[in-house]
Structure 1
């Protein structure tokens, strides 16, 4: 029962992270707001990041069972609000509540694994969670597409309700020994608020028609992110591990790669399904299936390389994976600008394969490169940083596309150009990750 609960908790996060790519194009056709598409993705992820960083404190204060039940109810409220929204603003508010709830649920589920299971079973449980994530990432858009096409986009959101009901029932099985404990750390509210402020400024920059105002908002957002890192480094209880994003450590270089790879790929979550429906005139189910090719390719490739034990081969795959992602992003940009469905398909498979071939090795390398006292902090940061990359990438993708004229009333030519440019921006953004991955491995070699 507990294993089922953990799988549902992680699966819900993946399912809802990818759900909107299939449902929102249909929602926008009904209620408008295409220019706000990035908000639904970015604020869900931003809210989940803030909630995830607070999860340890909530678990300590409330106990695991109460924290899971309470935040699942918040998620359920967000689901109902999004499903019954009469405007895109209502959908976005619902998505924020979903992110706040599911961010805690996913984090607490991961925390419970080493507490509940004996050491020899932990790798198998984490492997099971990875399979659940891949299944939800692939099946979510497909299932949402079928429901959207046969019933409505609102019904696609409501798929969550029976899943949540099962989760709440299984959450009662959490052992009582994981109850509330004496509070040791406080929620870093000021730093998390600063981080959320940076995301909101980026999204607001998407909407202003004035170049000066837009550039000012972007500048303030970047300043807020830098200030967050500076304040965190001087905090007694930091969120980031020591040396994060620094050129002095291998971990510092590697974390840049962890951030930049999802940052560059985020355009697909915002605009891919929309493009397939409006430029290739696919239905939600077919478009959702195409959109899930990245997740399917990621999973298949990860299984294929899982048994590679050679450290030299693993390092080569880390660097090669970033180069393959760059090629895939460039291919998508070209395939949309000069319509080619076969090239688009191959490019999406390449992007997924890039993550499959190197992502797990990159994460393992960073965990092992961290000092013993920092290893847990680095490990817990990796999924959060991945979400931050997607959130920032979605905001910037919207900024780029909207500046070219993307909207629900734009002509097919304008949409084609805007979406193509947003993917090309991702191609440019991922190139530094080739260097940071190589420098990480070089630093590891010289530090031996």
Structure 2
């Protein structure tokens, strides 16, 4: 059997894997990307399109009794759970809850802050190199509030964000109407986060990054990461025309990363938050200028190239369980009250899974017990945001450069 050799195999062709491959390639490494799908067809395809350099506070588990009771009833649009799957996700939820103390939240925020601050800069560089400036818009996004309580909580969070170097503009109802004149509803206020970038075609952006990688000599192959095995000189993966071997391999498979690290003996608590989206046509050529989050009702509308994308909150279920698009059914009527929307463009909602660790930080760096094995997964709600920044951090670690951020908070050993 013929064996093809390269320097690095990157498993996973989403935004995280493609970004890591590009950064390694820029540092002189020969890289092959391997995935069972084409670039940008997995989790990276389905998101709100935000490069969220304003989200300095991670999405932690709520601790106030009001939210917990609402979620327990399983009737909300922003969180849903499959009761039959509870044995698979409740232990992870317990770890998530414990990591979401005020102290734990600030530890995670401070650890991720260098990555968050670097996120848009790294995207801008890759977008310029890929020649797709039309895929980045500088609109920021708007968060709307319908109750005084939710607005007050958001204003407290805004003060915390300001202390970490991120600002937002507080909007009264008149200012909301000025920015988005076609929105309907009774709002106590809102916040416009002006600095995040917006990507109107996230899957297209990942494909553009992959095209750049191939133009620079990289290879993208279809393959099964589960065939990975250790070899005398590194690692090997099966291919239809023979094996592919490399000294180093990067696991960047998002929610499927456990298919590689578990057989190797790692007990990293990788969970998933499933999410849905569906595109709808705007009625009468209505224009939505910004991505808009209806915070009290738990959905977001984003003006994508394909149509207005409605994205849901989190669904807790087994990663590969059949779709239960309850949240789409609950939110489409609410979204039509907010903005003039017509019929759905796709017959069925899209389902994806966000890979999450309990502390809402990714795993980045060397595998503790296997030379040449590297991790880059668990980016929770911020895969699109953080992919290029964590790709740079990983490449710096792999090539012996001084890393731009402290890698210690992202080490796999924190779960040992």
TM-score (norm 2): 0.27
Looking at both structures, which has the greater relative contact order when contacts are Cα pairs under 8 Å and sequence separation is at least 6?
A: 2
Higher strand proportion: 2
Is the helix fraction higher in 1 or 2?
1
TM-score (norm 1): 0.26
